[in-house]
Amino acid sequence: MEILDGKKVSNQIKEEIAAEVAKMRERGEKVPHLAAVIVGNDGASLTYVGSKVRSCEKVGFESTLVQLPSTTSEQELLNKIEELNEDDDIDGFIVQLPLPEQINTQRVLLAVDPDKDVDGFHPTNFGKMALDMSTFIPATPFGILELLERYKVETKGKHTVVIGRSHIVGRPMSILMGRKGWPGNSTVTLTHSHTKNITQIISQADIVISALGVPNFLKAEMVKDDAVIIDVGITRVPDDTKEKGYYITGDVDFENVSKKASYITPVPGGVGPMTIAMLLKNTLLARERHRSQK
């Protein structure tokens, strides 16, 4: 069994990006600039955005954090997005989810300029991805592809079972794993809460990508020997014995499933760090694209 070490690979990617940015500076070019918009003060979101800003500094990007109060109206947020769309200095930006209930998330994501949508959530980018066209791939699926590629995990002709159909992970992952090329060329089954015989389907999988958000859902008896296990789930489970009052776990019963797997991602330290690394990669791609358009 081999651990798919997202922490190690994400650091490699950041070093590669930092080297690229250093060359840009030497040539006197503008370096990539990523902005993040956060509405309200959700603890997990603040932590996540904070680590994105620190990662920008690490690779030599410029970064801007736009923090708005939880009482911000939908129109105020749309106005801010329009500002960012029109600001030539900013190559890409993200709107941190979830948003407060008074704001329509769909409307906000649609307002982002597809050329600056480094999260890859805009329907234009999602559609291009589905058609195998060059575009921004959502950061988490992009990170999973990169892990599979760097560890040379064979996907051609394999049966991939994706658990969960969210627009952020499950659905794009099912499209990407079935595309021509590598990683891809696998036969994909997309499962969800209404799937009958889900255990039986999972037991036939060569590759399982679980993005359900249910702690320890995937048990050892559900997977076949030598399966490749990608755990996208990350849940805080309350635990008074821990200093923080909780521990973090994924969708997979790691201790037992790892004994049967050929490759497996840990939680934390697997898919999570890759998401931020690929967001940076998308921002670098955005800068290169904007430069070539001029």
C-alpha 30/C-alpha 185 separation (Å) is: 38
| Choice among 14, 52, 116, 158 that is catalytic | 52
Overall average pLDDT of the 96-112 stretch? 95
226 in active site: no
Overall average pLDDT of the 103-119 stretch? 97
Is 234 annotated as belonging to a binding site? yes
Whether the CB-CB separation of 202 and 220 falls below 8 Å is answered with no
pLDDT at 294: 66
The chain-wide mean pLDDT, for the chain, equals 95
Between residues 241 and 294, the one the model is more confident about: 241
Helix locations, the chain, DSSP H: 6-26, 43-59, 74-86, 105-111, 123-130, 139-150, 170-178, 198-203, 254-257, 271-293
Helices (H) and strands (E) in the chain, counts: 10, 11
pLDDT of residue 46 exceeding 90, the answer is no
- Of 117-121, 132-136, 235-239, the one with minimum mean pLDDT is 235-239
Overall average pLDDT of the 265-282 stretch? 96
Is 157 annotated as belonging to a binding site? no
pLDDT of residue 43 exceeding 90, the answer is no
Those residues whose C-beta lies under 8 Å from the C-beta of residue 135, and which sit 6 or more positions away, are 120, 124, 125, 128, 129
Which CA distances in Å does 213 have to 110, 172, 233, 237? 26, 17, 5, 11
pLDDT of residue 38 exceeding 70, the answer is yes
Helix locations, 87-138, DSSP H: 105-111, 123-130
Q: Which domains does the chain have, with CATH numbers?
A: 26-113 (3.40.50.10860), 137-271 (3.40.50.720)
The band of 197, judged by pLDDT with boundaries at 50, 70 and 90, is: very high
119 in active site: yes
Is 164 annotated as belonging to a binding site? yes
Is 209 annotated as belonging to a binding site? no
Quick: pLDDT tens for 202-253: 999 999 999 999 999 999 999 999 999 999 999 888 889 998 898 889 999 9
Overall average pLDDT of the 36-44 stretch? 89
52 in active site: yes
Overall average pLDDT of the 90-98 stretch? 95
Quick: pLDDT tens for 2-33: 999 999 999 999 999 999 999 999 999 999 99
| Choice among 5, 91, 117, 119 that is catalytic | 119
Whether the CB-CB separation of 235 and 229 falls below 8 Å is answered with no
pLDDT of residue 102 exceeding 80, the answer is yes
| Choice among 96, 158, 231, 281 that is catalytic | 96
Quick: pLDDT tens for 137-147: 999 999 999 99
pLDDT at 236: 85
Q: Which of 294, 259, 276 is nearest to 54 (CA)?
A: 276
Quick: pLDDT tens for 147-177: 999 999 999 999 999 999 999 999 999 999 9
Q: What's the chain's length in residues?
A: 294
- What global pTM score does this model have? 0.94
C-alpha 98/C-alpha 250 separation (Å) is: 20
